[in-house]
Structure 1
Amino acid sequence: MTQQDSRGYHYVDSVMVALALSDEVCIEQANDFAVHMDSCLDVPVEKSNVWKAARSLASAYGIEPQVHISVRQHIPLQAGLGGSSSDAGTTLRGLCRLWNINLKDPRVTQVARSIGADVSFFLDPHPSFLTGAGDVLKETFPYVPSAPIVLVKPLSGISTAEAYAGFDQDPVPTQRIDGLLCAMRSGDLPQVVAHMSNNLGIVACRLLPVIGEVHSWLVQQPGVSGAMVSGSGSCVFGICKTAKSAQQVAQAAAERGWWSYATQITHVSKRQVC
């Protein structure tokens, strides 16, 4: 990530993959429009990305949104895991199917980008390289292994806005992404680990030192090949050698009082739409 451009957006080069961890989005036809989310945050549902996605897509196509949408959340908030963006992307996919809209219509992508920088990734969440503000698809990678992943998050969180503000106050230089892209193209997982970097994660550790504690602990665990802060934090992911290693590390993290989850990279979105 680099500093803001003239529009106020940050330039972001991101490599994103989907994980088997998912929320559940249920869309039902109805006589009116309603959204229910089981989030613990005291935020009006009208401000949620799911609400914005449904309303914006309906407006773009002149459709009256007579649907009830409910979201059961499993992805922790303020974790840097793209939970709200994935919910919005899943909502768009589900509504496109319900309303017979071509998911590849440029208007759908425009709606996704208007909601959030990484929402468009979740329209078709294959391993990808995104540029611009993190919303422009540059390349997809077909050969990335379904590696075991462990997620560890301290109980406290950090918002994306806080992390970006911290970066603006004291920017952290970026590292070249060429080596990571070459490794992703060849599906070379050890080289992916060797070239991982996240300058926004450094800011997150500065703002919330416990993130650094989680990272330092995670890289020392048996069976963990490498670890890095996910997005703007506060979750740290570890790439593990085996699924058993991921489960063991998740258990050890839970015993320390941290949220944890053993999962894996997936090439097909498992976010459920019913």
Structure 2
Amino acid sequence: MLSEAAPAKINLTLRVGAPREDGYHPIDSLVVFADFGDRLDVREAPGLMLVMGGPTARDVPDDNDNLVLRAARALQSAAGIEAGAQIHLHKHIPVEAGLGGGSADAAAALRLLNTFWGVNWSLDRLAQLGAGLGADVPCCVYSQPLRMRGRGEWIDILSNWPDMQGVLINPGVAVPTGPVFKAFDRSDPAALVESDPPARDHLAWLSTQPNDLEMPAKSLAPEIADALDWLAAQPGVILARMSGSGASCFAVCEPGTHEAIAAAYPGFAKAVRFPGGSR
């Protein structure tokens, strides 16, 4: 049996432009990954099988549209693989939470089966395959600090991004991505203005870069605003922001303070590390 981690994705920044003619929104986002997430195990089986467990597994579709199965079938087809696999998904990332859980699982399935079936493709090639599964899958294939642009297919790895300590919290509401983008479009957004590259003072730079989906998400789920207010009021919090399209929020914290902050939140909370790009 082989295993692969599926780290939660955090959008430290997220700039979004008006939809293009094809309906997609161009983005510019700085992304890191937490040392918290899901896990996939795989063992031999005559066909493709998916077993799920964990605290958030009941919220994940278990039909043929499941992203893990779609990723497995995509790799089978692209690499000409006839072997099967039994995949066990240990689900911990909340669903529809802005933490890229489904995309992280699909990316982990690609990495895991790439090894299990002896395909031995590069991460770049797996990311290209993953682009057909969802906009966040390519960045999750790399699972290290990066900047993603376009629909998510233009990726620049950030090799000098520092380690950070933080907290992830979820206010207990599911926020589907589609309605958030519809609310964003009703604000008559302008064309995307890409951010300048990070300066040496990463935290100072982060403080100037917003999540453009935060306001429309808060209009749909006021609990997000309450969660952000709670985070911002905690001693040791340097920066508090929503991740992705919500509803999960994160804080970047002063060293040694994140565990106490997570313990104080009256809901889903995790003290985490956001590993840097030097590893």
* CA distance in 1: counterparts of 2:130 and 2:205, whole angstroms: 28
Paired with 1:58 and 1:111, the residues of 2 have a C-alpha distance of 11
The aligned residue for residue 50 of structure 2 is: 35
- Given the alignment of the two structures, is residue 166 of structure 1 paired with residue 175 of structure 2, yes or no? no
Match of 2:212 in 1: 199
In structure 2, distance between residues paired with 1:141 and 1:42: 31
Separation (CA, whole Å) in 1 of partners of 2:31 and 2:50: 28
Look up the SS of the partner of 1:58 in the other structure: helix
Residue 35 of structure 2 corresponds to 20
Deviation, 1:166, is: 1.9
Q: What's the offset of the Cα at 1:162?
A: 2.1
One-letter identity of the residue aligned with 1:32: G
CA distance in 2, matches of 1:95, 1:215: 38
Could you tell me which residue of structure 1 aligns to residue 7 of structure 2?
none
Which deviations, in whole Å up to 9, do the C-alpha atoms of 1:150-184 show, x marking residues without a partner?
Answer: 011111120112212222233455885534x223x
Shift of 1:45: 2.9
SS at match of 1:47: coil
Query: What does 1:152-191 correspond to in 2, within 5 Å?
Result: 152-172=169-189, 177-179=194-196, 181-183=197-199, 186=200, 188-191=201-204
Q: Distance in 1 between matches of 2:123 and 2:207?
A: 37
Alpha-carbon distance change, 144 to 109 in structure 1, aligned in 2, over 3 angstroms = closer
Change (3 A) 1:88 1:42: closer
Q: How many residues align?
A: 259
* 4+ residue runs over 6 A deviation: none
Task: Quote the offset at 1:66 in angstroms.
Answer: 0.6
Q: Provide, for residues 37-85 of structure 1, a one-character-per-residue CA deviation record: whole Å limited to 9, x for no partner.
A: 2321263331111011000111111212410011011111121011111
Question: In the alignment, is residue 261 of structure 1 matched against residue 273 of structure 2?
Answer: no
2:166 paired residue among 149, 161, 171: 149
Distance 2:19 2:66 in 1: 25
- 2:263 counterpart (251, 255, 264): 251
Contact kept, 8 Å, 2:60 with 2:95, in 1: the verdict is: no
Does residue 241 of structure 2 align to residue 225 of structure 1? no
Structure 1 CA distance for aligned equivalents of residues 268 and 157 of structure 2: 31
**How far apart are the structure 1 equivalents of 2:92 and 2:261?**
19
Q: 1:109 aligns with which of 105, 108, 127?
A: 127
Considering only aligned residues, what root-mean-square deviation do their CA atoms show, in Å?
2.0
Q: Distance in 1 between matches of 2:226 and 2:276?
A: 31
Paired with 1:219 and 1:90, the residues of 2 have a C-alpha distance of 33
Select the structure that is richer in helix.
1
SS of the equivalent of 2:41 reads strand
Residue 248 of structure 1 aligns to which amino acid in structure 2?
Answer: A
Uncovered stretches (5+) of structure 2, i.e. residues with no partner: 1-15
TM-score by length of 2: 0.86
Whichever residue aligns with residue 20 of structure 1, its letter is D
- Structure with more of its chain in strand, by fraction: 2
Tell me the CA shift for residue 108 of structure 1.
Answer: 2.6
How far apart are residue 113 of structure 1 and its match? 0.3
- Matching residue of 1:64: 82
Which whole-Å deviations, capped at 9, do the CAs of 1:94-123 have from their partners, x for residues lacking one? 111122223327653332001111111122
Aligned to 1:8: 23
Matches within 5 A, 1:112-131: 112-131=130-149
Taking a change above 3 Å as real, the CA distance of residues 102 and 171 of structure 1, as seen in their structure-2 partners, is: farther
Answer whether contact 2:123 2:142 (CA < 8 A) is retained.
no
Structure 1's 147 and 50: CA in aligned 2 closer, same or farther, altered over 3 A? same
Partner of 2:8: none
Residue identity (%)? 29
TM-score by length of 1: 0.88
SS in 1 for 2:58: coil
Change (3 A) 1:234 1:172: farther
